[in-house]
Amino acid sequence: MIFLLWVWLWQGDAAKEAMQKGRYAEAVRLYQQMVKANPGEPLLRFNLGLAQYSAQQYAGAATSFQSFLKSQVSHPQANLLAAASLVKLQKGCEALPYVKKAAALGNTAEYLGVAGQAQLDCLDYAGAAKSYEAWARMEPLSTRAWYGLGKARVELQDEAGAQEAFARLSSLPYSAELRQLELEIARGLVKQKRVAEAREAYGRILANDPKDAEAEFELGGLQETAEAALPHYERAVAAKPDLWIAQAALGRALLSVGRGAEAVGPLEKAAAKLNEKSVWTALANAYRAAGKNEEARRALLRAR
């Protein structure tokens, strides 16, 4: 019994140290061992949930917090963390009951951010606007607050209010939220066939982050010729080699400009991951251009 107690204490100290030093996967493993050995101790499940959330294991975190809440129904922090985990899993409607039980934390930015996103995901746009507006007042430098408020106001058809929120977002230093807004603007312009304006929007993203592979790839698709698109696809693939649609586009562009042998590499990578008939067909053409007739035959079989 003394030995088991010593093991538990050691694991607890080791798990705390792992959390403090950012070794979240290790902390998860240690807390899982402790929960297994002491299933009746709810605090261990709470700590496990914290470790899982920190390790971006959101499904596990939601389960751990929900288990903890069976014996501590009104615990505000656990309810908020359960809601936050579900929001990360894009389950905003499931998160809302936990948001309500965490109302004691309603004057915190953390609460307002989780509440706003859950409400937005669950189509409660008025509630989301209220939450994000309160957050923006509390933290006027929060890019997430202004972006969320703008999105909620768009859904409420409050054009002036949305423009105000997005203008405030644009006045702040470049952020993931501003990038997302610019992407949405660019894609909207593409749908409206306003290509020149879309190119400008993608250009603004790349001016802030020249290695934005997604923006570079999409800008490549707006070029009038394969030759003009080629450098965009090359930069996209260099920035993010596992952007498989960019690898496929690069291979097709190389084929179009008569560089079939060079197209083999990117098309092989894309075909293996995307497994699309059109990519296998392009790969067969690249093999043929490279004089690899047997490989071309096999690729055509995959295209059927």
The per-residue pLDDT for range 182-219, each reduced to its tens digit, is 999 999 999 999 999 999 999 999 999 999 999 999 99
- d(Cα 101, Cα 84) in Å, to the nearest integer? 13
Distance from CA of residue 216 to its chain's centroid?
18
Q: Which residues in 154-169 are b (16+ Cβ under 10 Å) and which e?
A: bbeebeebbeebbebb
Q: Do the domains 102-172 and 1-72 match in fold?
A: yes
Closest Cα partner for 146 from 122, 123, 176?
176
User: What average pLDDT does this structure show over 33-54?
Assistant: 92
For 155-167, the pLDDT digits (tens) are: 999 999 999 999 9
- Does pLDDT of 9 surpass 50? no
CATH of domain 1-72: 1.25.40.10
Closest Cα partner for 31 from 85, 66, 46, 57?
46
For 11-36, the pLDDT digits (tens) are: 567 888 888 899 999 999 999 999 99
Is residue 219 within 8 Å of residue 195, measured between CB atoms? Answer: no
According to the model, what pLDDT value does residue 38 have?
87
Q: Is 175 left (phi over 0), alpha (psi -120 to 50) or beta?
A: beta
- Does pLDDT of 8 surpass 80? no
> pTM, whole model, 2 decimals?
0.84
Which CATH class, in words, describes the domain spanning 102-172?
Answer: mainly alpha
For residue 136 the two structure tokens come to 């923006």
According to the model, what pLDDT value does residue 142 have?
97
User: What average pLDDT does this structure show over 84-108?
Assistant: 97
Closest Cα partner for 86 from 96, 75, 100?
96
**Which residues, 6+ apart, have CB-to-CB distance to 122 below 8 Å?**
92, 93, 96
According to the model, what pLDDT value does residue 264 have?
97
According to the model, what pLDDT value does residue 123 have?
97
According to the model, what pLDDT value does residue 15 have?
85
- d(Cα 230, Cα 256) in Å, to the nearest integer? 10
In CATH terms, the superfamily for domain 228-304 is Tetratricopeptide repeat domain (1.25.40.10)
Q: Of residues 125 and 17, which shows the higher confidence score?
A: 125
Average pLDDT over the chain, rounded to whole? Answer: 94
- Does pLDDT of 1 surpass 50? no
Domain ranges across the chain: 1-72, 102-172, 228-304
> What single DSSP character describes residue 42?
H
According to the model, what pLDDT value does residue 76 have?
95
Residue 236, SS3? helix
The single residue listed with the structure tokens 């009951």 is 97
Query: Helices in the chain by DSSP H: which ranges?
Result: 2-20, 24-37, 42-54, 58-69, 76-88, 92-101, 109-121, 125-138, 143-155, 159-171, 176-191, 195-208, 213-220, 226-239, 244-256, 260-274, 277-289, 293-303
According to the model, what pLDDT value does residue 49 have?
95
* Largest interatomic CA distance in the chain: 75
According to the model, what pLDDT value does residue 101 have?
97
